[in-house]
Amino acid sequence: MEEIAVKNLKILGTGCPKCSQLAEMTDRAAKELNLEYEIEKITDIQEIIGYGVMCPPALVVDEDVKVTGRVPSLEEIKKMIS
């Protein structure tokens, strides 16, 4: 039987409304795609900078920064995480 890879999704941001919106939309996109996933919110500024992100919010998929500084559409998020 094939093992299903769990997607590691991280939302980088200080907790602003855009960060919350990105987290909600990423969660929704992952559910709509029926992905096995873990979502983590990173709010520590030093950890965020460690990813090279200077303009949150940011979406990190399996340790790869996919988008920074904006909240992409649901369809864009689906493409980034699938």
Verify whether residue 16 is a known catalytic residue: yes
CA atoms within 13 A on the CB side of 50: 8
Verify whether residue 55 is a known catalytic residue: no
Catalytic residue, candidates 16, 45, 49, 74: 16
Catalytic residue, candidates 9, 12, 19, 48: 19
- Annotate 9-37 with b (16+ C-beta within 10 A) or e (fewer): bbbbbeeeeebeebbebbeebbeeeebeb
Give me the residues paired with residue 38 across strands: 8
Catalytic residues: 16, 19
